[in-house]
């Protein structure tokens, strides 16, 4: 999986709490993780201090593959003021091979295609790391 | 407990941009209209349920301020309700509750939504924190309508719907708005104009997403006995349904983002409550901020066949004169969209239709009408079925 460095702070960085610090620390180390319930085995995204399936608070951290398929996307031309410098950009919904869905951003480059394979890209801003995706077709073009 | 509630009075300001009126002054216009329309005495009014105003409305404790402004005593309720895009719908629903519970005979649901003092990009700094997880989604730059845009991409992918079909919803709604005196935008549009509008959230352009709008509405409700005594035309709330799917924007367990499960379940409950089926509905005012949302909701509510909502729009089935007229007011795209009171504007339209007072927009012989309200990506839906009096 690729990583990209961006020489400015994230437009709207996440808050980091005691409960979510393991996630953001792992992401900074280029691993995507989430919580898994020790009682029922259910996984959830984003990670949470409670299992939304059985309300157990006995949880462990688990690594995710970072690979999946593109469920949908949209190119945003009018965005919040704080994202002004990044416009236009493409938001997306990705279904991970691990059976979890998440919202993210598609790296620019290749025209997105519905249902096609996508892979995580770690985007290191100066103050936070975020999880973007790019199409696997785009990676082949580069190599 | 009482079984049914009547809508006996409606008042709504034209939707638009108001610069010279304060928020509560705009609301008073709507309130005075509704009071006069209902024909009740001041002392008949038992409760006031307000939609909570935007954070831009400087007057806080808005409900109690208004009770003072109107010198209104109440032993039922004076409060503000909050529910994002459903706010106005919840205000209406809570007023229904007050009457069903016998806490009062007449209750007013009302509110004002002032949006245009703040530029759109600045406003989105606020709304992006509503439509997604602040820490795990907002950092990517989702906007409220970017989720609907992704619905559009998915819908076209799954059902082979075309851009022209989706865009035809905007053309149709503008034609309806041209017949509505309170609509914000009344000049008719061509399909080409909609398709060539500058992109906002692809594939949706400027004319397929909601405008910025201010507006105020008041709706007077009563028990049926009071309504009968007034000897004026009124509408009856025949059924209600609510459902939250337990997801915010997207479910972390992959499912269909475009089936709008909440709208399916809420409408099933509302039809059951009313003792009718979707086929009995003569017109519907949908909470549909974008063209695609009207299409998806029309299918989820059982008003159009699965996967054919966009085709039906293009074929004119959802226009005035078609088999199921949708958004006869012009809808959110053209009547305008002051979000916190949009569901109350929808009530105003169906009541006008059921009283036979919709002028050139009148759906002939309308017996049953439906309104929907939603929040997020239709993660929750609130559906009301209305019928004619008697
Ligand atoms: Zn569990």
Q: Does A103 lie at the interface with B, CB-CB under 8 angstroms?
A: yes
Question: By C-alpha distance, which of B223, B13, B16 is closest to B116?
Answer: B16
| Sequence-separated (6 or more) residues with CB below 8 Å from residue B313 | B165, B166, B168, B169, B172, B291, B294, B295, B298, B319, B326
Q: Does A69 lie at the interface with B, CB-CB under 8 angstroms?
A: no
**What's the rounded Cα separation, in Å, for the pair B263 and B303?**
12
CA angle, B227 as apex, B225 and B228 as ends, to 5°?
A: 65
* Residue B82 included in any domain: yes
Contact B137 A103 (CB under 8 A): yes
pLDDT for the residue B2: 84
* Residue A59 CA, ligand 1 centroid: distance in Å: 8
pLDDT for the residue A141: 58
Contact B124 A81 (CB under 8 A): yes
Residue B1 pLDDT exceeds 90? no
Q: Does A93 lie at the interface with B, CB-CB under 8 angstroms?
A: yes
**What's the rounded Cα separation, in Å, for the pair B77 and B81?**
11
The model's confidence at residue B361, banded by pLDDT at 50, 70 and 90, is: very high
pLDDT for the residue A143: 47
The strand pairing partners of A48, in sequence order, are none
CA distance, residue A78 to nearest chain B CA (Å): 5
pLDDT for the residue B232: 95
* Residue B336 included in any domain: no
pLDDT for the residue A140: 64
Take residue B167 and report the two structure tokens written for it: 């865009």
Instruction: Tally Cβ neighbours within 10 Å of residue B150.
Output: 27
pLDDT for the residue B321: 97
Residue B32 pLDDT exceeds 50? yes
* Residue B102 CA, ligand 1 centroid: distance in Å: 43
* B183: phi then psi, degrees, rounded to nearest 5: -75, 150
On whether ipTM exceeds 0.90, the answer is: yes
* Residue B256 included in any domain: no
Question: By C-alpha distance, which of B372, B14, B311 is closest to B172?
Answer: B311
Count of structural domains within chain B: 1
High-pLDDT (> 90) share of chain A, %:
91
* Residue A37 CA, ligand 1 centroid: distance in Å: 5
- pLDDT digits 0-9 by tens, B318-356: 999 999 999 999 999 999 999 999 999 999 999 999 999
pLDDT for the residue B371: 98
- HSE-CB of B212 using CA atoms within 13 angstroms: 13
List the domain range (segments joined by +) for residue B218: 5-118+214-230
Lookup result for tokens 């594939």:
B203
Q: For position B59, which CATH number holds?
A: 3.40.47.10
* Residue B253 CA, ligand 1 centroid: distance in Å: 14
What order do you get walking across the sheet with A59-63 strand by strand?
A43-44, A33-37, A59-63
Interface test with B, best of A51, A79, A85, A115 (most B CBs within 10 A): A79
**What's the rounded Cα separation, in Å, for the pair B52 and B278?**
32
Chain B from 132 to 151: CB within 8 A of any A CB: 132-143, 146, 149-151
pLDDT for the residue B105: 97
**What's the rounded Cα separation, in Å, for the pair B196 and B213?**
23
Buried b (16+ CB within 10 A) or exposed e, B254-288: beebbebbbbbbbbbbbbebbebebeebbbbbbbb
**What's the rounded Cα separation, in Å, for the pair A105 and A87?**
12
Question: By C-alpha distance, which of B118, B96, B115 is closest to B107?
Answer: B96
Rg of chain A over all Cα atoms, to the nearest angstrom: 16
The model's confidence at residue B390, banded by pLDDT at 50, 70 and 90, is: confident
**What's the rounded Cα separation, in Å, for the pair B354 and A142?**
62
* Residue B250 CA, ligand 1 centroid: distance in Å: 20
Instruction: Tally Cβ neighbours within 10 Å of residue A81.
Output: 14
Q: Does A85 lie at the interface with B, CB-CB under 8 angstroms?
A: no
Contact A76 B143 (CB under 8 A): yes
Average pLDDT for B138-167: 98
- pLDDT digits 0-9 by tens, B233-251: 999 999 999 999 999 999 9
Q: Is the dihedral of CA A63, A67, A73, A79 positive or negative?
A: positive
Take residue B149 and report the two structure tokens written for it: 């845009």
- HSE-CB of A26 using CA atoms within 13 angstroms: 16
User: Do residues B152 and B313 lie in contact, with contact meaning Cβ atoms separated by under 8 Å?
Assistant: no
- pLDDT digits 0-9 by tens, B166-208: 999 999 999 999 999 999 999 999 999 999 999 999 999 999 9
* B381: phi then psi, degrees, rounded to nearest 5: -140, 145
């Amino acid at each position: 999986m690729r990583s990209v460095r961006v020489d400015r702070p994230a437009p709207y960085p996440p808050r980091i709490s005691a409960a979510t610090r393991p996630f953001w620390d792992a992401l900074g180390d280029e691993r995507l993780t989430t919580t898994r319930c020790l009682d029922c085995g259910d996984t959830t995204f984003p990670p949470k201090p409670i299992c939304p399936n059985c309300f157990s608070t006995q949880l462990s951290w688990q690594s995710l593959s970072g690979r999946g398929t593109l469920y949908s996307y949209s190119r945003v031309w009018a965005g919040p003021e704080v994202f002004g410098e990044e416009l236009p950009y493409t938001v997306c919904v990705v279904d991970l091979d691990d059976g979890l869905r998440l919202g993210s951003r598609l790296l620019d480059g290749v025209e997105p295609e519905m249902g096609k394979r996508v892979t995580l890209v770690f985007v290191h801003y100066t103050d936070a790391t975020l999880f973007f995706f790019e199409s696997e077709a785009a990676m082949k073009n580069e190599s | 407990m009482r079984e049914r509630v009547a809508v006996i009075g409606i008042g709504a300001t034209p939707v638009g941009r108001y610069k010279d009126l304060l928020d509560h002054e705009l609301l008073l216009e709507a309130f005075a209209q509704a009071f006069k329309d209902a024909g009740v005495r001041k002392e008949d009014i038992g409760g006031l349920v307000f939609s909570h105003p935007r954070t831009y409305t400087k007057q806080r404790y808005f409900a109690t301020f208004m009770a003072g402004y109107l010198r209104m005593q109440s032993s039922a309720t004076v409060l503000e309700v909050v529910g994002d895009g459903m706010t106005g719908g919840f205000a209406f629903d809570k007023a229904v509750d007050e009457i069903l519970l016998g806490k009062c005979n007449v209750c007013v649901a009302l509110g004002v939504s002032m949006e245009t003092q703040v530029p759109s990009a600045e406003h989105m700094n606020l709304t992006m924190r509503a439509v997604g997880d602040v820490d795990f989604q907002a950092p990517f730059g989702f906007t409220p309508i970017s989720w609907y845009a992704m619905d559009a991409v998915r819908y076209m992918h799954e059902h082979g719907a075309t851009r022209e079909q989706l865009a035809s919803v905007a053309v149709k709604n503008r034609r309806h708005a041209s017949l509505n005196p309170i609509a914000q935008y009344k000049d008719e549009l061509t399909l080409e104009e909609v398709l060539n509008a500058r992109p906002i959230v692809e594939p949706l352009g400027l004319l397929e997403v909601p405008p910025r709008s201010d507006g105020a509405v008041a709706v007077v409700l009563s028990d049926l006995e009071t309504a009968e005594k007034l000897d004026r035309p009124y509408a009856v709330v025949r059924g209600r349904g609510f459902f939250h799917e337990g997801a915010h924007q997207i479910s972390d367990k992959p499912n269909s983002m475009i089936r709008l499960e909440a709208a399916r379940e809420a409408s099933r409950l509302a039809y059951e409550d009313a003792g009718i089926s979707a086929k009995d509905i003569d017109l519907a005012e949908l909470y549909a901020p974008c063209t695609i949302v009207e299409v998806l909701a029309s299918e989820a509510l059982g008003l159009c066949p699965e996967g054919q909502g966009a085709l039906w729009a293009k074929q004119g089935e959802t226009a005035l004169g078609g088999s199921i007229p949708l958004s006869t007011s012009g809808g959110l795209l053209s009547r305008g969209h002051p979000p916190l009171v949009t569901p109350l504007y929808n009530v105003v339209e169906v009541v006008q239709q059921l009283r036979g007072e919709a002028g050139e927009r009148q759906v002939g012989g309308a017996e049953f009408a439906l309104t929907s309200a939603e929040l997020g990506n239709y993660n929750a839906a609130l559906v009301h079925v209305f019928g004619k009096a008697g």
